[in-house]
Chain A
């Protein structure tokens, strides 16, 4: 904060006003939902408003302090999605989940600020790539460990430690994205080069590609073993996209698509639960009172909402099982209509756009790939679940980032957001849009160095 910068200041004041607007929209939606449901103004609207503004202000100040050159739209967009999701969750489950979601929201914002504070240089992440790979692997396996892991709703993706349940896979996706970005940034020429000749084919060095392929197949296989189809699809797409972007070879897309359809066909033949998903997708009305119930009710909700929606609190999205989690998007479609749902989609698309802009602007290969990876996670995860609940593709359960109920999802996505903001700030510094002041840690190191120099232990090298 040492040097004044007009650009940084204007970006941060833009962010502040947008964040306040997102907060106001949330508070109004919260009031309307209560009016629609109970025809009364929520009892604790003032404390709610104050807490909401305090939380948003806290996040904003953290960006102002730790990443003042960052894109000003990311945090407000996320605040809007988070707010809409929070209103829907409290409206759907006012007693069971509203308090929990509040707690998780606070934890998520704290995690966001902590990530910004701890990761002050994006390059630090690249240095620990093998550590991140290890963390990712451990997180993925955890739910399969007897005594720790547990399964709800058919998927074994949960870990119970005492009273806390969480989905480690939500965090593993970030760890794997970091590993892949770092590894591919260093080895992409080697992989793209195709120096290994087998007959007429130019293939990448097996040695170079091995870690990528190993991590990739491991992650996907573990997810399939955990019956978490949505996450395995997400991981698979993430790796294919990162390989394609880093090597610039379109062959990986075709290869990925071929593998995907092959794997999908095999698992359709092998697994009953996959067949059931496909059958429901093809004709949910065939068995609408049992297997197709969730999807059919969700579609009825959407159509009941129509163009303008029933109004918050005035629809019946609670008919749909787990409306607050996987199916929260159709709840929004029912009560806010096509307009509201399209606005939510637009917010995601803007986040994707902001993320890819970071990837375009930076010259650093690691940062570029990490921005691509994190953005892809966000964009694809949203697509998988939204397309699933509106019967565009077979439904594979996964959360809608920032909107669905779920602590792990909320915290991990806020960490992801912090990393994107970090990358955005880093780009601004590198392009000299904002002064590249040393971080706290760097200043501390420099001071130590100077002290040692004064004592004569270091001969030269410190800058004048």
Chain B
């Protein structure tokens, strides 16, 4: 019988080897295919069963946190956004069914404690009973966010404030926006309905318009044009421009006018503070096509804004094909009309670069991350992005922008507490055709203190029902004023 017993043993070995091969087939061979199948919710469940750290503002206000749910729930935690819509554009939301956005997505591994550093630290948590999660500390200040929200008062538009020296984003608020609590509603149907409603709502409330959208900049673009021309030596403070009401550029018979058809001219300081159009149209032509194109590129136009948040937009100078056949277009772009479009955050960066001696910093919203014990994991180091203009040009622009605030288009509405000197440029981008009801984007970019800059702000109010040289200053100016006053008072 022993021969048969040996054969039986061999048969068992064969059977078990077959089992082992079949296990390999499922666990190794088809692993990724099976894991990717819809209906296989294991990876998502694992993800959502973990505790999650907080997202906190620079002044310690909790913008996102996890609250434990009663035991009979499928998942042990529920995400909550105590500040409602205040930080929605930056924190995003985190939902089982509908995915995650913004910092909730990009900082996921820190929040769940999955970075290599945290995993080592987590061994300690086993003993101390810690959660093993991590916190994200934003550079944004809740007082500035509040100010921006109140100043906008429900009007469509964006407010961005930067630290001029580091690029840290201190405020970034847009209307329309949304309350992320609606999307993390444990009632899935309610959450999905809320998301669908937001997706179809006008003005893209789910987008962070301050950095994911771009708008026609109007006269604020003259900061770029002037900087390019100063650097190229095409203009200087001594340049004189004719006082005219209209001017016809080459290749056309349609004249370009100043706002309201006003008679506008004089030296560079005067045309800059009064925001004449014709001098900047002429300047753009004098700089020439290659000079303007490389100039705006040096300002970062055409590149995605380098912020540490997902899917930033890029500002644009419009199509440059056959521009030599269309010089009037180049002329109009010189003062921020036609196909020019700027991202609100990028405009704040332009102002900050002027303030920062011509050095444009990379904007960032994550100041630092900490583990569950409060130890710092990462701290964002300020990084230079571009040097669009020389320090001399920056100083000249600074002085020109101060004139705008003292006796130019912003003088009505931009006076800081304690007489702190401020530099600014307003803009009114006309959206309507001639003869249509007036519509415009009202802009202002500003920084203060002008002699020792710390804060740069950019404000845009969309679709304002009027167009004049003063529109930008009168509508957007007060918002910039409130923002700068608040920043200086509590900075």
| Chain A residues in the interface with B (C-beta under 8 A) | 35, 39-41, 241, 244-246, 248, 288-289, 296, 299-307, 310, 314-316, 319, 333, 337-338, 341-342, 345, 348-349, 352-353, 356, 359-360, 365, 368-369, 372, 376, 379, 383, 386-387, 390-392
Contact = CB atoms under 8 A, between A and B. Distances in A.
B156 to A, nearest CB: 45
Contacts of A306: 27-28, 31
Contacts of B46: 310, 314-316
B253 interface: no
Contacts of A387: 18-19, 22
A312 to B, nearest CB: 13
A303 B27 CA distance: 4
A300 B12 CA distance: 27
Interface stretch (B36-44, B170-178, B443-451): B36-44
Contact of A299 (B6, B20, B34): B34
B12 A349 contact: yes
B9 interface: yes
Interface string B181-213: 000000000000000000000000000000000
A300 B34 contact: yes
B6 A360 contact: yes
A383 B19 contact: yes
Given A248-B3, A365-B1, A383 B15 contact: yes
Interface stretch (B84-92, B124-132, B398-406): B124-132
Given A299-B34, A304-B40, A248 B4 contact: yes
A304 B132 contact: no
Contacts of B16: 345, 348-349, 383
B254 interface: no
B5 interface: yes
Interface residues of B, number: 39
A288 B31 CA distance: 18
Interface string B459-485: 000000000000000000000000000
Interface of B: 1-6, 8-9, 12-13, 15-16, 18-20, 22-24, 26-28, 30-31, 33-35, 37, 39-43, 45-46, 125-126, 129, 131-132
A304 B19 CA distance: 18
Contacts, number: 117
Given A302-B27, A341-B27, 7 more contacts: A296-B39, A300-B37, A333-B26, A338-B28, A368-B1, A369-B1, A387-B22
Contacts of A341: 23, 27
A392 B5 contact: no
A316 B45 contact: yes
Contact of B27 (A35, A245, A305): A305
Contacts of A301: 42
B34 A303 contact: yes
A215 B198 CA distance: 72
Nearest to B15: A383
Given A39-B126, A365-B1, A338 B24 contact: yes
A245 B26 contact: no
11 contacts: A41-B126, A245-B1, A248-B1, A303-B35, A316-B46, A341-B23, A341-B27, A352-B9, A359-B5, A368-B5, A391-B22
B126 A345 contact: no
Given A40-B129, A241-B8, A307 B27 contact: yes
A308 to B, nearest CB: 10
Nearest to A330: B26
B28 A245 contact: no
B23 A304 contact: no
- Highest count of chain B CB atoms <10 Å: which of A39, A345, A387: A39
Contacts of A352: 9, 12
Contacts of B125: 39
A391 B18 CA distance: 12
Given A300-B42, A348-B16, A386-B19, A372 B9 contact: no
A246 B1 contact: yes
B12 A303 contact: no
Contacts of A315: 42, 46
A323 to B, nearest CB: 13
Contacts of A314: 46
Interface of A is mostly: helix
A365 B1 CA distance: 9
A117 B28 CA distance: 47
Nearest to B9: A356
Contacts of B28: 306-307, 338
A379 B23 contact: no
A345 B19 contact: yes
A356 B126 contact: no
Contacts of A368: 1, 5
A306 B46 CA distance: 15
A35 B129 CA distance: 11
A372 B8 contact: yes
Contacts of A356: 5, 8-9, 12
A342 B24 CA distance: 10
B113 to A, nearest CB: 10
Nearest to A299: B26
Nearest to B44: A316
Contacts of A305: 27
B48 to A, nearest CB: 11
A315 B43 CA distance: 9
B31 A303 contact: yes
Nearest to A289: B39
A245 B19 contact: no
Contacts of A319: 41-42
A315 B413 CA distance: 61
A353 B12 CA distance: 9
The 4 closest A-B pairs by CB, nearest first: A303-B34, A338-B27, A304-B42, A300-B40
A34 to B, nearest CB: 10
Contacts of A41: 126
Contacts of B4: 244-245, 248
Nearest to B51: A39
A372 B5 contact: yes
Contacts of A338: 23-24, 27-28
Nearest to A298: B26
A360 B131 CA distance: 56
Contacts of A392: 18-19, 22
A333 B23 contact: yes
A342 B26 contact: no
A319 B31 CA distance: 18
Contact of A302 (B23, B43, B45, B126): B23
- Highest count of chain A CB atoms <10 Å: which of B16, B22, B31, B41: B16
A245 B42 contact: no
Given A300-B42, A307-B27, A348-B16, A360 B22 contact: no
Nearest to A371: B5
B53 to A, nearest CB: 15
Contacts of A359: 5
B272 to A, nearest CB: 62
A369 B1 CA distance: 9
A240 to B, nearest CB: 11
Nearest to A361: B2
Contacts of B35: 300, 303-304
Contacts of B34: 299-300, 303-304
A304 B30 contact: no
A190 to B, nearest CB: 15
Contact of B9 (A302, A348, A353): A353
A359 B12 CA distance: 15
A376 B8 contact: yes
A390 B26 contact: yes
Nearest to B18: A392
Contact of B22 (A248, A348, A390): A390
Contacts of B19: 345, 383, 386-387, 390, 392
A264 B133 CA distance: 55
Contacts of B41: 316, 319
Nearest to A244: B4
Contacts of B6: 360
A305 B43 CA distance: 10
